[in-house]
Chain A
Amino acid sequence: MFGEALIKYLKTADSEWYKQRIISIMICILAVFVILFVRLIYLQVINGEELRRLSLNNSIRLQSIDPPRGRVYDRNGKILVDNRPSFDVSIILKDAQPVEQTIEKLSEYIQVAASDLMSTIMHTRDFSSYKPILLKQDIGRNALAALEVHKHDLPGVGVKVNLRRNYITNQHAAHLIGYLSEINSDELKSGDYPECRSGDLIGKFGAEKTYDSLLRGKRGGRQVEVNANGQVVRVLKTVTSIPGHNIFLTLDQDVQKKSEELLEGVAGAVVAMEPTSGRILALASGPTFDQNAFVGGISREKWASLISNPFRPMANRAIQGEYPPGSTYKIITALAGLEEGVIDEETIFECPGFYRFGNRVYRCWKKGGHGKVDIIKALAESCDVFFYQVGQKLGVDRLAWYAKASGLGSATGIHLDHEASGLIPTAAWKQKRTGIPWQEGETLSVAIGQGFNLATPLQMAVFTSAVANGGKRYKPLILEAIKTLDGRLLHEETLRVIGKLPVGEKTLDLVKEGLWQVVNSEKGTARRIRLSRIQISGKTGTSQVISRKDDEEIAEENIAAHLKSHAWFVAYAPSDAPRIAVSVVVEHGEHGSGAAAPIAKEIIKTYLRSYKSRTQLVAQKIDKKGNRPREISKDILRD
């Protein structure tokens, strides 16, 4: 019974069974094809005429709606970059028949030679008679009025209000903020800009590039129906654009402005940062460039002159400039020497003005010598002979270890492109690079920051901050916060410690005392920038561009300008509770004390003055709320 049922149930599928199922499939397929057939009749027979009409003029078109790009503010909410309306004229050739006549009339109204307009059309990439070709950007109000009046005479000509990037204080923080420029074919292919198409502007440099995706927003568009003249008859569908986010930089506009004023006329760089957070207060590089020139597409000549300028205005010297750190490097030699125990606070070396090593004489910058020198005096008066001996006792590799632990020789990771990493030489490095073994005499040069050493102003600022704050190396930040257009906080940059100086408190205190004396002692190398109300600590540096032979005497006046030494100054203030750290380089400025230190002083003064006026505001709030002043001051900064 049961077996029989099972056999019946499990009847093997045979050809006849398959055939029945295939016939059912055929019926289903026939039904589907009937649907296709009916749809085809609906489109081509019933609606054919209407759809042919729409096809004749390609009547259904897309127009894009560009999103407003996010604005850029400084830490105090002062606006640095926004957008302004620009009236751009474009032409759709298919609609503009007869083209020559239309162009001629247009040329009259917008005051551009007809031949120029024609050549613009000829040189358009992705040429299509149905796509608008941009003829002139940013026409004036008068030209706009003329175009509006003669609209009926100008078929195919359209004026579109676009938002144009506006760098409010032109050239201001140009290297940090950067600029926009048209996307190129490599960038389009790279896949990094999936929503962009040819002709779009993207951030090419600085923060505009780093935060491009946040600033850009999302494009919207319209489906429209146009008439034979290309004029919109109906808007079918609209997708609104989504504006970009606003970004708040860590920059303090006043400090930045001051830095740039001070760098005017020289090639050099300034980095100012909060030593307790890594936030960049100012990042200036001179000479600078005109950001607004890039907005409408920079002209070939302007670009060529920027690129061929021997002072390289497009280089951001603050992060790309690699200079021998000169005597500012003595801070590292001092830290290493004290920490390794090759010297202590009681070590005294005699400086007769030179140091004999092997068969060579290494000179001190001070001809007569410094006499008896301890570590503090050595820093304050920048005694070369003292540090020759410290360096000799340490050896190049131990010194290099401390320099690397201090962040030199590798990029800081600031969110800007093309950061240079500098160079800290070791014996192995030289052997590999040149094939020549390390000479012990070279260690002496390295110990005072000459020779192969290279550092960027930013690296020295981060290092100086670490000395100032007790040893923490903060990642330098340029972004404070990101907010939506309506002010909602999206992201707040968090502080990050990227390393610690490998030294004890006692070592650091000794070095800090030395740095204080650089400015505040009778014979300190930077005594001229001493202020009565603000205590500054710092270190001067002079980095030689050419190595002078020991027995060669060249009067400084006789050195050609491009062979003069670079001037360095790194500093922080107030000495006991640092709120700002500064690193300054002036190319061919000769002496740190003369060229770089006064710049640092002015920047410190500017910042602490405005800081003070803000903290007074805070003080009034403390009484009511009883909160810690730092947090309240942050609130104020973000208001």
Chain B
Amino acid sequence: MFDRRLVQYFDWGLFGLSVVIGCIGLATLYSAVTAEAPAPQKILFFKQLIWFAIGLAAMVVSFMFNYKLLDRWAQSIYTICILLLICVLVFGKYIGGSKRWLILGPISIQPSELVKIAVIAVLARYFSKDAYTRGFTLRELIRPFILTMIPILLIVKQPDLGTAMVIVLIAGTMTVFVKIERRSLISLIVSCSIIIPMIWFFLKEYQKQRILVFLDPDRDPLGAGYHIIQSKIAIGSGMIGGKGFLKGTQNALSFLPEEHTDFIFSVLAEEWGFLGSIVLILLFLVLIFWGLNIAIACREPFGTILAVGITAMIFWQVFINIGMAMGLMPVVGVPLPFISYGGSSALTIAIGIGLLLNVSMRRFLLE
């Protein structure tokens, strides 16, 4: 049953790349949690180490089976994930003003992370059937639209706007990739440009305020605006060579909020400077291109679209997270793949990489 060619075609490059970025992530996390005031939280580092081990196992599982089975399982996986999201709203625990976690004994998981994979799988399944070069019409897009909106509404309710936004972007990228039929695209753009201002009109004052702060952090100089300033100071102060490992001061003074999750790039940029930052950014670029290359090499629509979806997830998270830390993006909690602290996030990325490996190593096993 097990084909020897699979070992032969195993994508060591992608695997190695992931391990390298993962190690950079662990080192940065170590620095972030060690310096954290008032009390260092080294425990977080060891927790993350365990999550990486779990992630590695999940990655192996994700490439062991033939990814085409996913085509069959996608619906069930999606349904389970939606049920988990409903569980979060019912049984979830409030931490810091939102309900995102399901506590299962010693571990807490964030189903909104895992649901990304489910959405990618279920959309890949839909888009790979009857795909024509003219693209999908509005009528054909209703089903994927509903499939995307269900988890998004459940996640917005938590609320976890960052994850919701990433899912919208992933689904959007996949849809654009399989092409929207031209007339449908035009009517879509026209109706959006009419509806969006109308929604604005119906929003309450505090909701408008929140969106304005989101788009322009300077409007909230005591909250988001201040975080951005501190993050920019941290990054900039790294200069070309960086201050050195564990020598970052902004991080040490815990002026960076959420330094081990959302603002972890600032920690890295401060300690490793321009040289370190550019290495990380280039590694991400290579990883993303690698993923897209797998999509090209796969000669079958489901695998191609799946690989594009996973790569889109990595791309958007990298871009939003680093862009936010540098003051290019709204302040929104999106984890940096492999680097930010967080078990569910690490697990999701590991599964994603596992699926990319899966598609890659089975590229010659068609027909």
Which residues of A does B touch, CB under 8 Å? 9-13, 15, 17-19, 21-22, 25-26, 29-30, 32-33, 35-37, 39-41, 43-45, 47-52, 54-56, 58, 60, 62, 64, 126-128, 130, 191, 194, 220-221, 223, 236-239
22 contacts between A and B (CB under 8 A): A9-B132, A13-B132, A15-B300, A22-B304, A26-B289, A32-B319, A33-B285, A35-B328, A39-B327, A40-B269, A40-B281, A40-B326, A48-B237, A48-B240, A48-B274, A50-B236, A52-B236, A52-B237, A194-B97, A223-B222, A237-B225, A238-B221
Q: How far is the CA of A220 from the CA of B328 in the complex (A)?
A: 26
Chain B residues with Cβ below 8 Å from A220 are 222
CB < 8 Å neighbour of A55 from B132, B249, B299: B249
> Which residues of B in the span 207-226 have a Cβ within 8 Å of any Cβ on A?
218, 221-222, 225-226
Q: A43-B232, A191-B94 are in contact. Are A13 and B269 (CB under 8 A)?
A: no
CB < 8 Å neighbour of A43 from B134, B235, B249: B235
Beta-carbon contact of B255 and A44 below 8 Å: no
Chain B residues with Cβ below 8 Å from A35 are 328
Q: A-side binding surface: helix, strand, loop or mixed?
A: helix
Beta-carbon contact of B229 and A223 below 8 Å: yes
Q: How far is the CA of A127 from the CA of B38 in the complex (A)?
A: 6
Beta-carbon contact of A22 and B38 below 8 Å: no
Beta-carbon contact of B239 and A29 below 8 Å: no
Chain B residues with Cβ below 8 Å from A32 are 315, 319
Q: How far is the CA of A586 from the CA of B52 in the complex (A)?
A: 70
Q: Is B189 on the interface with A (CB-CB < 8 A)?
A: no
> Which residues of B in the span 280-308 have a Cβ within 8 Å of any Cβ on A?
281, 285, 288-289, 292, 295-296, 299-301, 304, 308
Chain B residues with Cβ below 8 Å from A12 are 131-133
Beta-carbon contact of A13 and B235 below 8 Å: no
Q: Is B233 on the interface with A (CB-CB < 8 A)?
A: yes
Mask of B222-253 contacts with A, CB within 8 angstroms, 1/0:
10011001101111111110000000011001
Chain A residues with Cβ below 8 Å from B229 are 60, 223
Q: Interface residues of B, CB < 8 Å — how many? A: 58
Nearest opposing residue in chain B for A41, CB measure: B274
CB < 8 Å neighbour of A44 from B179, B235, B289: B235
Beta-carbon contact of B292 and A25 below 8 Å: yes
Q: How far is the CA of A395 from the CA of B37 in the complex (A)?
A: 69
Beta-carbon contact of A33 and B281 below 8 Å: yes
Nearest opposing residue in chain A for B220, CB measure: A239
Q: Is B178 on the interface with A (CB-CB < 8 A)?
A: yes
CB < 8 Å neighbour of B37 from A13, A62, A128: A128
Task: Supply 5 further A-B pairs (C-beta < 8 A) apart from A43-B326, A223-B222.
Answer: A33-B281, A44-B273, A48-B237, A60-B230, A127-B38
Beta-carbon contact of A13 and B131 below 8 Å: yes
Mask of B299-323 contacts with A, CB within 8 angstroms, 1/0:
1110010001000000100010011
Chain B residues with Cβ below 8 Å from A9 are 132, 134
Q: B-side binding surface: helix, strand, loop or mixed?
A: helix
Q: Is B53 on the interface with A (CB-CB < 8 A)?
A: no
Chain B residues with Cβ below 8 Å from A236 are 221
Chain B residues with Cβ below 8 Å from A56 are 237, 249
Shortest beta-carbon distance, B221 to chain A, in Å?
4
Q: A39-B328, A221-B222 are in contact. Are A54 and B304 (CB under 8 A)?
A: no
Beta-carbon contact of B177 and A11 below 8 Å: no
CB < 8 Å neighbour of B221 from A44, A52, A239: A239
Q: Is B75 on the interface with A (CB-CB < 8 A)?
A: no
Beta-carbon contact of A55 and B292 below 8 Å: no
Chain A residues with Cβ below 8 Å from B295 are 18, 22
Shortest beta-carbon distance, A142 to chain B, in Å?
35
Beta-carbon contact of B253 and A128 below 8 Å: yes
Q: How far is the CA of A423 from the CA of B233 in the complex (A)?
A: 65
Chain B residues with Cβ below 8 Å from A21 are 177, 179
Q: Max chain A CB contacts within 10 Å: which of B218, B237, B274, B322?
A: B237
Q: Is B277 on the interface with A (CB-CB < 8 A)?
A: yes
Shortest beta-carbon distance, A9 to chain B, in Å?
5
Nearest opposing residue in chain A for B315, CB measure: A29
Q: How far is the CA of A238 from the CA of B250 in the complex (A)?
A: 23
Nearest opposing residue in chain A for B134, CB measure: A9
Beta-carbon contact of A11 and B221 below 8 Å: no
Chain A residues with Cβ below 8 Å from B133 are 11-13, 17
Mask of B58-80 contacts with A, CB within 8 angstroms, 1/0:
00000000000000000000000
Beta-carbon contact of A51 and B253 below 8 Å: no
Chain A residues with Cβ below 8 Å from B328 are 35-36, 39
